[in-house]
Amino acid sequence: MAISRVATTINGFSKLTMLCSADATEEALVTQALNGDANAFAELVRRYRDRLLNLAWQLLSNRDEAEDAVQDALLFAYEHLHQFRGEARLFTWLYRITVNACRTRLRQRRIEPLPEDWEPADEIDWRTVEAQWWRKRQVDAVLSKLPEPLRLVLILREMHDLSYNEIAAVLDIPVGTVRSRLFEARKRFARLWEDMFGTNE
């Protein structure tokens, strides 16, 4: 079954089905999905898709590619759900798949900076979002200068609030490596911010 069909199933749920699925535990939904219940997997998609999309956007800096990467990751997860061992939370497994999908896309191209003549859509209140938009560009600019291993641990820890153990599971590295990379990433980020923007807020 294509992931688009699973996603379509979400919109076709009755209110009662949605309520039952929303109350179900992750373990129960995984079991139901493994037994062929497409509604159960669609509920898992509903729970985690936004977080995965946010992660992919932060890694790829391109909305369309982020959407495609998450689509690829969710399709892979659906087709390989039987390989999920339950030793960690499902979202940790999904994060790992999404990171790998993004890495594949990063190997295929170089990240292009936002065009200098970019302007927000007319319906956006520029006065309201200008500061946040500019700060995000600053953060993205600094992140783009970090080596991928350091960038990944920093994003997973600071932007997705994963624990050291969860990051280790996502990246398949020892917890000690997570700690050392995170220490180095924070140090380099602070130094780059200082060099690029003249302040270390």
Both tokens of 199, joined, read: 């302040």
Which CATH number do you get for residue 145?
Answer: 1.10.10.10
Domain count, the chain: 2
Q: Which pLDDT belongs to residue 101?
A: 92
Separation of alpha carbons 53 and 68, rounded Å:
9
Do 170 and 96 share a domain, yes or no?
Answer: no
Is residue 119 assigned to a domain?
no
Predicted TM-score of the model (pTM): 0.66
Do 143 and 106 share a domain, yes or no?
Answer: no
Among the ranges given (11-15, 36-40, 163-167), the one the predictor scored with the smallest mean pLDDT: 11-15
By CB atoms closer than 10 A (0-12, 13-18, 19+), residue 101 is: buried
Burial per residue of 68-79, b for 16 or more beta-carbon CB atoms within 10 angstroms, e otherwise:
ebbbbbbbbbbe
Do 85 and 10 share a domain, yes or no?
Answer: yes
For 30-60, the pLDDT digits (tens) are: 889 888 888 999 999 999 999 999 999 888 8
Do 45 and 107 share a domain, yes or no?
Answer: yes
